[in-house]
C-alpha cells in the first residue's frame, strides 16, 4: 500500500512582511489537497520590536544571537503574533489550522547550542522530532502550523532556524508518509547570479552543490537552506524544491528541484 | 456509565507575574490525576510592554480597551511568551501540554463586541466553543493550555476575558464530561471584607450573590468572575470553586464553592 502523502511548505520572512503576498500564499496553501503542514520563519518584525525596546540585535553569519531578552521577543513575535495571525487567516480560508511551537505536544526537542566557537545564546539544535505527535494532531483533523521556537524538555524555550525545522519534520515523517518539502522564498530558486532570473538551476544535486560552494557561488542565506535540503534528501524525503511562493499553485512555474 | 472527569483550572494574572508561585502552581497542576485543561489570563506584562512601546493602556470597568496596536501586544504576550513559557514548564513537569488560542483548531469563535455603549475595540464575546475539537486534542494525548485570545473565523484575532473562556469551555464540555472548574487567584475565595481572610464565604448561591451585588459588597474584579461561575453552573458544570492556588493540592484549604 502506498504511503499517504503530506506536503510540508516552509515560508520565509520576506513573504511574512507583505500582507498581500502572505494572504495570497495562504490561499494557495489552503487550496492544496491532502495532508499539509506549514512552517514559518520570523521576519524583520522581531528585529524591529527589539529596536523599539532598545534590545540590541546581533547577527553572526546571518543568524541571530539570542539573549534572554531576545528570546522573549522572538517567542512573542513568532509563536504569538505571527503564528496566530497565520492560523486565524488559514481558518478564514477553510483550513483547520493549529499553531505549534516545538514545546507544544513536545513535538520538537532541541539542545542549546554549545557556546563555542560562537555563543549564539538561546539557540536550539534539533535532536528529536516526535512524528507520532505530529501524526496525532493531523489525524485529529488539524493542519499544523509551526513557528521557529523549540524547547529543551527542561523548561527552556529555544530559537531554532525555521528551514531546519521544516527539514527535520520532513525527515521524521518519511517513515510513515510520502513527504514533499517545498521552500517558498523571494527568489525563483537557486540562482547562479542573484541578479539574473535566467541563471536559475532547475535541478541541483549534492556534487554540483559542493562545487558551487567551493566556487563561492552559493551565498550565506542559501547555504544553510541547501544543507538542510540535502540532509532531508539523504534521510529519505522524496521530493524537495525551492522557489517563489507562486509555485504552490503553478506546476509550470520554474523552481529548483533537489536531486540525488 | 459515568461520564469521564475533566478538571479545568484557570490561573489569574497575579500568579503569572511571580515565577516561584507560577512554577509551584504548575507543579500542583501537573500532579492532578486524569484529564485536565489549563486556562491563563495575561498579567501586567502586556501593559508593561505597551508602556515600553508607547502604546496607551486604556481600561474601562477593569477591562482593557484593545486597539489594533494593543491586540498585537496582547497576542504576542498571551499566545506567545506567556503561553509557550507555561507549556514548556509543564512539559518539564511531565505534562504533555499543548498551547492554544481560540483560533487554533477553531476551538473558540467569538464576535467583536458592538462599539456601543462602550467601544472596547478588538474584544471578543464567545459565541461557540467546539467541544469535539477540544476532546480530539485530549484524546490525542495532549493537555490543552488556553490563552485569552480568540478569533471571529474571518481572520480577525480578538482579546477575550480568560475567566469567560474557562467558563465557556467548562459549559461546552459538560455534555460529554463531568466537569470541575477551579478559579485560582490571589485571595482565598469570595471575601465579605477584602482585608479580612476570616470573612471568606465557603459557599455562595445565586440568591446570596445577587444580594451581595445589591449591597455593593461584590467588587469590580469579582463581579464578572462570579457571573461566569453562575452561568457555567446554570449550563450544567457540576463543581465550581474559587480560591487561592494552593487549594489544588490541599483538599482542606478553605475556598468558595459555587452552589445552586
Task: Give chain B's count of helices (H) and strands (E).
Answer: 9, 14
Note whether B104 contacts A106, CB cutoff 8 Å: no
Note whether B154 contacts A104, CB cutoff 8 Å: no
Nearest Cα neighbor of A102 from A62, A140, A156 is: A156
Residue pLDDT, tens place only, A113-158: 999 999 999 999 999 999 999 999 999 999 999 999 999 999 999 9
Mutant choice from B83, B88, B106 vs A, greatest count of A C-beta within 10 A: B88
Tell me which residue in B78, B140, B155 faces A89 most closely, judged by beta carbons.
Answer: B155
The Cα diameter of chain A in Å comes to 57
End-to-end alpha-carbon separation of chain B, Å? 25
3-state secondary structure of B6: strand
Buried b (16+ CB within 10 A) or exposed e, A221-232: ebebbbbbbbeb
Distance from CA of A175 to the nearest CA of B (A): 20
Give the number of beta-carbon pairs within 8 Å between A and B. 126
Note whether A78 contacts B81, CB cutoff 8 Å: no
Concatenate the DSSP letters of all residues of chain A into one string: -PPPEEEEEEE-HHHHT-HHHHHHHHHHHHH--SEEEEEE---HHHHHHHHHTTPPPEEETTEEEB-HHHHHHHIIIIIIIIHHHHHHHHHHTT--EEEE-TTGGG-EEEEEPPSSS---BSBEEEEEE-HHHHHHHHHTT-EEEE-SEEE-SSS-EEE--HHHHHHHHHHHHTTTSEEEEEEEESSSS-BSSTT-GGGB-SEEEHHHHHHHHHTT-S-TTHHHHHHHHHHHHHTT--EEEEEEGGGGS-TTS--EEEE-
What CATH number is attached to the domain comprising B176? 3.40.1160.10
Note whether B99 contacts A97, CB cutoff 8 Å: no
Note whether B101 contacts A91, CB cutoff 8 Å: no
CA B207 to the chain's CA centroid: 24
Q: Is the pLDDT of residue A206 over 80?
A: yes
Note whether A155 contacts B88, CB cutoff 8 Å: yes
Chain B residues within 8 A of A66 when measuring between CB atoms = none
In angstroms, rounded to a whole number, what is the distance separating the alpha carbons of residues B256 and B221? 16
Chain B residues within 8 A of A137 when measuring between CB atoms = 140
Distance from CA of B12 to the nearest CA of A (A): 19
Note whether A91 contacts B75, CB cutoff 8 Å: no
In angstroms, rounded to a whole number, what is the distance separating the alpha carbons of residues A250 and B177? 47
Region A87-102 average pLDDT: 98
Write a three-state SS string for B29-60: HHHCCCEEEEEECCCHHHHHHHHHHCCCCEEE
Question: Which cell numbers in the block locate residue A168?
Answer: 527535520
Chain A residues within 8 A of B78 when measuring between CB atoms = 80
Region A13-26 average pLDDT: 91
The Cα diameter of chain B in Å comes to 57
Q: Respond yes or no on whether ipTM tops 0.90.
A: yes
What is the pLDDT at residue B251? 87
What is the pLDDT at residue B221? 74
Cβ neighbours around A234 below 10 Å, total: 11
In angstroms, rounded to a whole number, what is the distance separating the alpha carbons of residues B26 and B83? 12
Residue pLDDT, tens place only, B183-199: 998 889 999 998 898 99
Chain B residues within 8 A of A100 when measuring between CB atoms = 98
Q: Is the pLDDT of residue B78 over 90?
A: yes
In angstroms, rounded to a whole number, what is the distance separating the alpha carbons of residues B151 and A88? 7
Cβ neighbours around B175 below 10 Å, total: 11
Tell me which residue in A77, A96, A153 faces B80 most closely, judged by beta carbons.
Answer: A77
Nearest Cα neighbor of B244 from B73, B77, B42, B9 is: B9
The half-sphere exposure of B95 on its side-chain side, counting CA atoms within 13 A, is 27
In angstroms, rounded to a whole number, what is the distance separating the alpha carbons of residues A38 and B232? 36
Distance from CA of A153 to the nearest CA of B (A): 5
A75 versus B217: which is more confidently predicted?
Answer: A75
What is the pLDDT at residue B186? 85
Query: What is the CA angle A85-B100-A174, rounded to 5?
Result: 85
In angstroms, rounded to a whole number, what is the distance separating the alpha carbons of residues B239 and B222? 18
Q: Is the pLDDT of residue B132 over 80?
A: yes
Whether residue B126 lies inside any domain: the answer is yes
pTM score, whole prediction = 0.97
Packing angle of the helix pair B83-92, B19-31 (nearest 10 deg): 50
Closest residue on chain A to B55 (Cα): A52
Distances (CA, A) of B209 to A147, A240, B256, B259: 45, 63, 12, 10
What is the pLDDT at residue B63? 75
Structural domain range at position A49 = 5-259
Question: Which cell numbers in the block locate residue A160?
Answer: 531554532
- Looking at mean pLDDT, say which of A12-16, A59-63, B146-150 comes out highest: B146-150
In angstroms, rounded to a whole number, what is the distance separating the alpha carbons of residues B50 and A251? 45
Nearest Cα neighbor of A161 from A227, A99, A259 is: A227
What is the pLDDT at residue A243? 95
Band of pLDDT at residue A24, cut at 50, 70 and 90? very high
The half-sphere exposure of A142 on its side-chain side, counting CA atoms within 13 A, is 27
Band of pLDDT at residue A58, cut at 50, 70 and 90? confident
Question: Which cell numbers in the block locate residue B54?
Answer: 508607547
Asked if A13 contacts A184 with a C-beta cutoff of 8 angstroms, the reply is: no
What is the pLDDT at residue B58? 86
CB contact set of B34 (below 8 Å; sequence gap of 6+): B4, B5, B6, B7
CB contact set of A123 (below 8 Å; sequence gap of 6+): A63, A64, A65, A66, A112, A113, A158, A159, A160
CA B43 to the chain's CA centroid: 12
Question: Which cell numbers in the block locate residue B194?
Answer: 477584602
Band of pLDDT at residue A77, cut at 50, 70 and 90? very high
Distance from CA of A115 to the nearest CA of B (A): 22
Residues of B with CB under 8 A from a CB of A: 52-53, 72, 75-81, 83-85, 87-89, 91-92, 96-101, 103-106, 133, 136-137, 139-142, 149, 151, 153-157
3-state secondary structure of B178: strand
CB contact set of A39 (below 8 Å; sequence gap of 6+): A8, A9, A10, A11, A145, A146, A148, A162, A165, A166, A169
Band of pLDDT at residue A221, cut at 50, 70 and 90? confident
Q: How many domains does chain A have?
A: 1
Tell me which residue in A80, A98, A153 faces B80 most closely, judged by beta carbons.
Answer: A80
Whether residue B214 lies inside any domain: the answer is no
Supply the mean pLDDT for chain A. Answer: 94
Distances (CA, A) of B186 to B13, B17, B150, B166, B250: 9, 11, 25, 17, 16
Would strands B97-100 and B143-146 be described as parallel, antiparallel, or unpaired? parallel
Q: Is the pLDDT of residue A194 over 90?
A: no
Question: Which cell numbers in the block locate residue A77?
Answer: 513575535
Amino acid at each position: 500500500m502506498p504511503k499517504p502523502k503530506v506536503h510540508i511548505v516552509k515560508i520565509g520572512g520576506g513573504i511574512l512582511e507583505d500582507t498581500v503576498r502572505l494572504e495570497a500564499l495562504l490561499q494557495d496553501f489552503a487550496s492544496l489537497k491532502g495532508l499539509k503542514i506549514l512552517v514559518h520563519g520570523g521576519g524583520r518584525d522581531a528585529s524591529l520590536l527589539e529596536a523599539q525596546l532598545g534590545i540590541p540585535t546581533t547577527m553572526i553569519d546571518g543568524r541571530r544571537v539570542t539573549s534572554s531578552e531576545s528570546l522573549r521577543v522572538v517567542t512573542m513575535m513568532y509563536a504569538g503574533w505571527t503564528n496566530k495571525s497565520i492560523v486565524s487567516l488559514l481558518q478564514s480560508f477553510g483550513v483547520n489550522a493549529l499553531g505549534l511551537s516545538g514545546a507544544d505536544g513536545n513535538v520538537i526537542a532541541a539542545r542549546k547550542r554549545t557556546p563555542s566557537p560562537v555563543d549564539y545564546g538561546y539557540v536550539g539544535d534539533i535532536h528529536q522530532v516526535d512524528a507520532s505527535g505530529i501524526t496525532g494532531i493531523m489525524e485529529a483533523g488539524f493542519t499544523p502550523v509551526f513557528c521557529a521556537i523549540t524547547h529543551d524538555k527542561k523548561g527552556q524555550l529555544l530559537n531554532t532556524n525555521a528551514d531546519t525545522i521544516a527539514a527535520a519534520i520532513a525527515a521524521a515523517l518519511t517513515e510513515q508518509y510520502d513527504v514533499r518539502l517545498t521552500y517558498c522564498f523571494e527568489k525563483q530558486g537557486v540562482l547562479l547570479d542573484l541578479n539574473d532570473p535566467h541563471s536559475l538551476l532547475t535541478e541541483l544535486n549534492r556534487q554540483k552543490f559542493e562545487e558551487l560552494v567551493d566556487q563561492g557561488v552559493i551565498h550565506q542565506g542559501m547555504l544553510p537552506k541547501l544543507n538542510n535540503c540535502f540532509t532531508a534528501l539523504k534521510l529519505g524525503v522524496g521530493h524537495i524544491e525551492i522557489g517563489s511562493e507562486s509555485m504552490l499553485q503553478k506546476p509550470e512555474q520554474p523552481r529548483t528541484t533537489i536531486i540525488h
